[in-house]
Structure 1
């Protein structure tokens, strides 16, 4: 009997599985890289990256759908995969993923970076969702995973 060895899933494969689950089970929509569209009303946008750089990415894919349940069905659930996230991170001045950006009618409400204690996470989500629009932060350069050297 011969045993065939084959490589397991990569970190990006695991992320794609998590994003597909978010779309199928929790009603998230994937943001288009070339033309990101933000719906009217309240929207929560999860920005991701390769989980090999930060394991919290996969945690956020599980935690965020549950945390958004407290807002009811009135919040549009969006996710940007690692191909679309760098430009959106720059646009909303997010230094690293995972981060959740909250928008109302396309206006910036604020962002939540990283993973926190469950109650703190839920409280911050409720605060941002209920808050007024703020000026969009000044965009910051974000290094694309494929680049080497200086920031773009």
Structure 2
């Protein structure tokens, strides 16, 4: 028996998906719920997202938004598993329940719906907002997975140097 070792693919080994959260299953659209029940996503809210993201690796979190105001959020929910299949083994998916979106969005400086929030090893990477054409989505996800972590664009405390009058930029 011969074994060909010349065509190895290197896959990133992601941490084992943790048991589903004990958070009550939120009332939501069947398309959003399907991400969890069929595609293995995890419900995350303002109390669980930090621990979930800190387990390591790349994570993509869906903020679908109110389906009446932002119907494209349901489209993103359908496209997300296809994006995950296009980047096999590269990221796990989390879904923020509707009632927790504002709190989680504030934490990461997200202001648009729908949004995909990219985290790596518990740190902010970037977001992709809105519904995009397939090729644009694939390119933007590829770029996001290659980006370094950075500071989330949240509202910070302004820095004022000692002795500055505050009336001048110089």
Matching of residue 45 in structure 1 with residue 61 in structure 2: yes
Question: Aligned equivalents of 2:40 and 2:83: distance in 1?
Answer: 14
Matching of residue 55 in structure 1 with residue 68 in structure 2: no
Q: For structure 2, which runs of at least 5 residues remain unmatched after alignment?
A: 1-25, 157-170
The one of 3, 8, 21 equivalent to 2:34 is 21
Structure of higher CA gyration radius:
2
Q: Say which SS state the counterpart of residue 90 (structure 1) adopts.
A: helix
Give the equivalent residue in structure 1 for 2:128: 112
Question: Aligned equivalents of 1:139 and 1:28: distance in 2?
Answer: 29
The one of 87, 104, 107 equivalent to 1:71 is 87
Give the drift of 1:16. 2.9
Question: Aligned equivalents of 1:93 and 1:78: distance in 2?
Answer: 17
Q: Say which SS state the counterpart of residue 101 (structure 1) adopts.
A: strand
The one of 95, 104, 107 equivalent to 1:88 is 104
Question: Aligned equivalents of 2:45 and 2:104: distance in 1?
Answer: 11
1:76-123 alpha-carbon deviations (Å, 9 max, x no partner): 111102112111111111112110010110111100000111100110
Q: How many correspondences in the alignment?
A: 128
The CA RMSD measured in Å over matched residues stands at 1.9
Report the TM-score, using the length of structure 1 for normalisation: 0.77
Question: Aligned equivalents of 1:76 and 1:17: distance in 2?
Answer: 20
Matching of residue 138 in structure 1 with residue 138 in structure 2: no
Question: Aligned equivalents of 2:102 and 2:47: distance in 1?
Answer: 12
Q: 1:87 to 1:139 in 2, by over 3 A?
A: farther
Contact 1:33 1:83 in 2 (8 A): no
Q: For structure 1, which runs of at least 5 residues remain unmatched after alignment?
A: 1-11, 141-152
Report the TM-score, using the length of structure 2 for normalisation: 0.69
1:41-84 alpha-carbon deviations (Å, 9 max, x no partner): 11001112210111111111101111121221231111102112
